Amino acid sequence: MPRTATRRARQNLTVKAIEALKPRERPYRISDGGGLLLEVKPSGARVWLCRLTVDGRRRDMGLGGYPLVGLAAAREAAEEARRLVVKGKDPIAQREADAQQRRAEAAAAAAAAARTFAAVAEEYITRTASGWKHGRTADLWRGSLKAHAMPVLGPMPIDAIDRAAVLRAVDDVWRTRAATGRKIVRRIGAILRYAAAHGWRSNDNAADVKMLRNAGLPVLPGGRKQPALPWRAVPAFYAALRGMEGAAPLALRLLVLTALRSGEVRGARWSEFDLSGEMPVWTVAAERMKGGKGAEVRAHRVPLAPAALDVLAAAYAFQAGHPARVEDLPRLAPLLGDALVFPGGRRVAPLSDMSLSAVMRRMNATRPEGAPPPWRDPDGREAVPHGFRSSFRTWTDDTRPGDAEAAERALAHHNDTSVSERYRRSDMFGQRVPLMEAWAAWCSGAAPVEIIPMKREAAAG
């Protein structure tokens, strides 16, 4: 007799018969044949079981409750269990293995769904921050990404981020604030590479600038140069800046006078200043200085002109709440120890990276509607704090060309990849003293300008 006919002959139950079954005081079972049983419990619940012999042992395998699992489905499940036994497999163990795999797949899917750009960015920052030079770098990453990347990319699964998404996230800041836009793209790229290294997305970096340009991101005019105020306009700017109150305007004044970077000024501490000698000196520790690839970063000595000492006296008065004279600084500064010269709102942290830029934006905002910004570069772009380093360097070229090398040392530029530079250890401090005094005098309006032409052979070179 064919196998199917034999199977039909062994099927004893019908839906009508099942519905007619009544509960008893004790559980009882009704056989459908082929090892398929329906157990009726005292509560009235009915459960399918499949009786099997696996490795010589009798086992009952649950197939689910009726009517959630109907008669036809129970028969198919029992038949599949018997097929596995014939193949030498344990249906119960196989079902548990399948369930574990489904749970693992569901957990992986849930983890992938929860592995958003925001979550991966936070993991990357947390794991990488210990190796960053400055403690506040992590806060700067979080702040910039929150402002310019998270609105678009934050909730997206990390493996779903493509170039179109990155373009939507950075297009506005790229066009309006070039330097910030480039930082954001680099930071997005670092996070995507981190995700790719962990196998969470493909290795195609959706934040590659060259590819983004092919996809529509415009090439910014002027390359990577920061908008700088022409040096002739610096005295007028400095005079306007002196009329502003607060720690950020004071820090910006010191930045202008010393031609240092924003982070080096904002992180200044009173313990870095030696104001007792004939020539007051500010020594910026090596770990706070910016270093290029392959560079041996060194501590940087800064000669402080009288105008710079005026700023420090104003900074002390701002913190202490009472006036301070420049001649009192050698006695007062040590009393503040390692305290910040320009603390932020919490007093224990420096001013934020954007605080000095905000001062300049406020100064440029005070103009008639439609008028160009008063403090701008020759291309009409609003000048930024970092641009004063260029203002200083151009002033040196135009007025004191013989001090060009001293100016490079004042800017803490070291070409440590050149052979000759490896043997040149002097910071030219003596030559920088009159240079920085002349620059501070020019900025503060205390000196007239005198253009000194470059020598013909120097100009030709």
User: 236-281: per-residue pLDDT in tens?
Assistant: 999 999 999 999 999 999 999 999 999 999 999 999 999 988 899 9
Per-residue model confidence (pLDDT) at position 13: 84
Greater confidence (241 vs 461) lies with 241
394-419 mean pLDDT: 83
- Give residues with Cβ within 8 angstroms of 27, minimum separation 6: 39, 40, 41, 42
What is the CATH topology of the domain spanning 3-89? Double Stranded RNA Binding Domain (3.30.160)
Strands (E), 199-291: 273-274, 281-284
Two structure tokens written together for 293: 């690839």
Average pLDDT of the chain is: 83
In the chain, the percentage of residues whose pLDDT exceeds 90 is 41
Per-residue model confidence (pLDDT) at position 196: 87
Residue 180 has pLDDT above 60, yes or no: yes
The DSSP code sequence of 113-138 is HH-BHHHHHHHHHHHHGGGSSSTTHH
User: 202-225: per-residue pLDDT in tens?
Assistant: 777 777 766 666 555 666 544 557
Q: For residue 457, name the pLDDT band (cuts at 50, 70, 90).
A: very low
In the chain, the percentage of residues whose pLDDT exceeds 70 is 84
Rg of the chain over Cα atoms, rounded to whole angstroms, equals 38
Q: How far is CA 34 from CA 56, 74, 138, 193, 200, in A?
A: 17, 12, 67, 58, 48
For residue 219, give the DSSP letter: P
User: 351-369: per-residue pLDDT in tens?
Assistant: 887 899 999 999 999 888 8
290-313 mean pLDDT: 80
Residue 444 has pLDDT above 90, yes or no: yes
CA 65 to chain centre: 53
Distance of alpha carbon 438 from alpha carbon 440, whole angstroms: 6
Residue 1 has pLDDT above 50, yes or no: no
Per-residue model confidence (pLDDT) at position 181: 86
| CATH number assigned to the domain with residue range 117-214, chosen from the 4 options 1.10.10.60, 1.20.1260.10, 1.10.150.130, 3.40.50.720 | 1.10.150.130
Q: For residue 448, name the pLDDT band (cuts at 50, 70, 90).
A: low
Residue 7 has pLDDT above 50, yes or no: no
Residue 391 has pLDDT above 60, yes or no: yes
Residue 418 has pLDDT above 70, yes or no: no
96-119 mean pLDDT: 77
Per-residue model confidence (pLDDT) at position 325: 93
Q: For residue 112, name the pLDDT band (cuts at 50, 70, 90).
A: low
**CATH architecture assignment, domain 231-460:** Orthogonal Bundle (1.10)
22-33 mean pLDDT: 90
Distance of alpha carbon 80 from alpha carbon 86, whole angstroms: 10
Residue 190 has pLDDT above 60, yes or no: yes
374-402 mean pLDDT: 93
Per-residue model confidence (pLDDT) at position 219: 60
117-214 shares its CATH topology with 231-460: no
Give the three-state DSSP class for 281.
Answer: strand
Domain boundaries, the chain: 3-89, 117-214, 231-460
90-98 mean pLDDT: 81
- Give residues with Cβ within 8 angstroms of 391, minimum separation 6: 228, 229, 230, 231, 234
Residue 107 has pLDDT above 80, yes or no: no
Per-residue model confidence (pLDDT) at position 281: 94
According to the per-residue pLDDT averaged within each range, which of 16-30, 108-122, 300-314 is highest? 300-314
283-322: burial string, b at 16+ Cβ within 10 Å, e else: ebeeebbeeeeeeebbebbbbbbebbbbbbbbbbebbeee
